[in-house]
Chains A and B, each alone.
Chain A
Amino acid sequence: AQKITQTQPGMFVQEKEAVTLDCTYDTSDQSYGLFWYKQPSSGEMIFLIYQGSYDEQNATEGRYSLNFQKARKSANLVISASQLGDSAMYFCAMRGSTDSWGKFQFGAGTQVVVTP
């Protein structure tokens, strides 16, 4: 069974500062994918970034980067130069190869509030 753990229920960050959101996972799959989504108060789920388990380099997408430490089974999201519009819930998710890359498993989320 796969499990995603996000231990930070909420975080405050000042505008223009960087913030790191923690995500650890547990899986017996050899191949898997890790995802981060953003959910603003409006409710839509917005895909941010993806990391494959065999990718040697950490994924980056604009101000988002994923700090992937495979041995520690962690996939932390780093948001650089925070903006007020980054205030949202952030979810870490994964899916594995065992069940034909079927089920996406989500963590409980971290609420980020960016302050001026």
Chain B
Amino acid sequence: DTGVSQDPRHKITKRGQNVTFRCDPISEHNRLYWYRQTLGQGPEFLTYFQNEAQLEKSRLLSDRFSAERPKGSFSTLEIQRTEQGDSAMYLCASYKISRAELGELFFGEGSRLTVL
């Protein structure tokens, strides 16, 4: 399977702990996105990369959140000092820029975080 993969699929942690999620996009895709989704809501934009450059970060993202894509391939999303409000599904998506106005996002299956 050569789709977007995320790891881990599920993570349960205690409040105050740090967690890290990994996303492997489709290999030729140069743009990579992170979204957060809570139950019954639409995906909320967090940040996105073009190759290794982080081009935009949501103002809603606190300093406890950081994302990297060091070599323009896989990406990590780290949440430090987790809070119960961080409990959500974290979705990764990617696509390849060809014609800039086209191209749908390809999503991974998500990483579900539960903070106790």
Contact = CB atoms under 8 A, between A and B. Distances in A.
Interface of A: 4, 6, 31, 33, 35, 43-45, 47, 50, 52, 91, 97, 99-109, 111
Given A44-B107, A106-B42, A109-B40, A97 B91 contact: no
A35 B93 CA distance: 14
Contacts of B12: none
A99 B56 contact: yes
Interface string B68-80: 0000000000000
B7 interface: no
Contacts, number: 60
Q: Is the interface of A mostly helix, strand, loop or mixed?
A: loop
A45 B91 CA distance: 9
A43 B104 contact: no
22 contacts: A33-B102, A35-B104, A35-B105, A44-B110, A45-B91, A45-B105, A47-B104, A50-B102, A97-B101, A100-B100, A101-B103, A102-B56, A104-B33, A104-B45, A105-B45, A106-B35, A106-B42, A106-B43, A106-B45, A108-B41, A108-B42, A109-B42
Interface residues of B, number: 26
